[in-house]
Structures are given as C-alpha cells and as structure tokens.
Homo-oligomer: A and B are copies of this chain.
Amino acid sequence: MNTPEPTFQDVTAAARRLAGHANVTPLLEAPVLNERVGGRVFLKAENLQLAGAFKYRGAYNRLSQLSPEQRAAGVVAFSSGNHAQGVALAARELGIDATIVMPSDAPAIKLANTRRLGASLVIYDRKTEDREAIARRLSTERGATLVPAYDDPHIIAGQGTLALEAMQQLKDRTDETADAFLTPCGGGGLIAGCALAVNALSPTTRLHSVEPANFDDMARSLASGKHERNNPNATTICDALMPTTPGNITFAIARRLLAGGLVVTDEMALAAIEFAWRELKLVVEPGGAVALAAVLNGVLDCRGKLVVVVLSGGNVDPDTYRAALSRSN
C-alpha cells in the first residue's frame, strides 16, 4: 500500500470541516463508576453522535472532500451498519447518492436506519459472498467512489476528531491529561485516528484498543508485530467489531503509537450495556461497550488513574438490549 498515513494536522483539518456538522458529544464523569474502579473515568458519549455512532465523523470528512464530479457519480460503501449510517447521513447532507453493501444478518435497526437515511442497500450473505468484491464491482460499474470503513487517511483523520474534542474537554474540566485512552476497535480506524490526536496532545497517555474475544486480531497483531487474522467462523455479539484483520494504515499507526490491545468477553460487553443503562442512563450497543467493559472488569487497572473511555455507538436491536437488561433482575 502506498496510501499515505494521515497526520495530526489532518485531524485538526478534519475538525474544522466537521465544525457545525457533527455533534460535540459530552464527556461525562460518573461518581458511581469512579468508586467502582478506584480512579477517575471520563466517558466520551459518542453514542450521542449523529446516526448514533462515531462513524459520521470519518464519513463526513471523506465525502466533503470529493470533487463536484465525484459527488455527481455517487459513493459506495460496505459496512455491518454504523459506517453505513454515517456514510448515508453525510451523503444525504451533501446531496450525494449512496449505495451501501450490508450483510443480511446486520442488526435490523442498522438496516432500517440506513434505508431511512436515503441510501440504496445491497444485501449480501456474510458466509458465502465477498462484500468487498461486490462493492468494488458496483463502484467500477458506476464510476462511484468507494468509501472504506477504516483503511483510508481521511476516514482515520475524521475519527480522530473525537479524541481531539475529548482531550480538550478533559483539559477544560480537570486541567489534567489522561493516563490512558481506550476505544473499541474493529478495523482500527477509531483507535488509529484517536492515537494521532492523543499522541500529539499528550505523548505520555497510554493508548489501548479494546476488542471482543474471538475478534482480537488487533491485540494479537500488536503482540506479534504482523497482521493476524480472526477465525472466519468466529462469532461475537459485537456486530460492529468483526473485521478479518487490522487495516494496513490503521495497523501501521497502531504499531507505532499503542501501548497494547485489550480483550473482553461478550459477557462483559453485555454487563457493560446493563451498567450504562442503570448507572449512566446511556444506550450503548455491544461493540460500543467493550472499552467500558475493560475498565469495569479490571482488564485495565484504573486505580489512581485518569482514564478516557469511548462509548463508540448505540445502535442496538431491542431483543439484544432486552437480553442485556434481563441481567439486572
């Protein structure tokens, strides 16, 4: 790959593009969480972002830089759901036709929301079809721009604006910086973008990706120093965090800047959903809850530390959500 890595300057440029478009999501502190972990945890509530996840940041940053000719030809993306909604919303705002390739087993809420945002959907079977091939064929046929979910410098820079915002909010509130910064990790776009911002603003902050068990390709790749792949038959309730292997650009950044990858179980993610519901009054999806799960279960020891935890999305089907809540009875 000769695609250039984005820089911190790309993140600050993305923040200027997003100003007035993306929500400035709140950074929340909850005494009950601090007491439980013995430190100070600040939650970046990115489930309150437009379209219910951080993905709008990268999508808008990417699409707003297309030329008039590229805009006229439309965009194509493949996604299990949150990138789909982010691209669909950004495309609608910019007057661009969007076609999204989504798996048939994506959460119904994500399929419905993507459709409602005006995108055309192409459904594929996760077990037997290659979504990337379908998307590439569609984009070639139409001359449309393929918008990758994570392995793209503009997407990564856009996601990094979340950390830029969070670190500024943290400074305004505490006049301190973070000891650690945790984000959920699928293909690595969010953690890579955040790493660029956090490393530039606070080089001592330890950055961690958090993945569900069975989809811990980033943690294993960071440990081995090369791209590790997940078992193609693996499953998780964290539908947003099911990549094959880390992206090329995202892994190059992660190798250089991350302290390491953390892993939580599906059970921990469900318990974190229930905690966020009961104690924080926030709706979080399984993949959006894994970083919170890591601090709740001591996968990262937060005692005496100041830790930023990203709640990356809240698009969850009612059945999954009700199942998580039934834990509290």
Interface positions of A (Cβ within 8 A of B): 23, 26, 28-29, 31, 47-48, 50, 52, 109, 277-278, 280-284, 314, 318-319, 321-322, 325-326, 328-329
Contacts and interface: CB of A to CB of B under 8 A. Distances in A.
Given A314-B281, A318-B329, A325-B318, A50 B26 contact: no
Contact of A283 (B109, B281, B328): B281
Chain A facing B: main interface SS: helix
Best-buried of A50, A281, A283, A329 by chain B (most CB within 10 Å): A281
A321 B109 CA distance: 18
Best-buried of A48, A52, A319 by chain B (most CB within 10 Å): A48
Specify how many copies of this chain sit in the oligomer.
Answer: 2
Given A278-B109, A283-B282, A329 B325 contact: no
A312 to B, nearest CB: 11
A286 to B, nearest CB: 14
Contacts of A328: 318
Contacts of A52: 281
Contact of A326 (B26, B284, B322, B326): B322
Contacts of A26: 26, 48
Contacts of A50: 31
Given A31-B50, A47-B281, A282-B283, 11 more contacts: A26-B26, A48-B281, A48-B282, A277-B283, A281-B282, A281-B283, A281-B284, A281-B314, A282-B282, A319-B329, A322-B325
A1 to B, nearest CB: 35
A23 B29 CA distance: 8
Contact of A318 (B48, B284, B326): B326
A36 to B, nearest CB: 12
Given A31-B50, A281-B283, A283-B282, A321 B314 contact: no
Contacts of A278: 109
Nearest to A53: B281
Contacts of A48: 26, 28, 280-282
Contacts of A28: 23, 48
Contacts of A31: 50
A162 to B, nearest CB: 15
A274 to B, nearest CB: 8
18 contacts: A23-B28, A23-B29, A26-B48, A28-B48, A31-B50, A47-B281, A48-B280, A109-B278, A277-B283, A277-B321, A281-B314, A318-B325, A318-B326, A318-B329, A319-B329, A322-B322, A322-B325, A322-B326
Contact of A325 (B23, B47, B321): B321
A80 B139 CA distance: 59
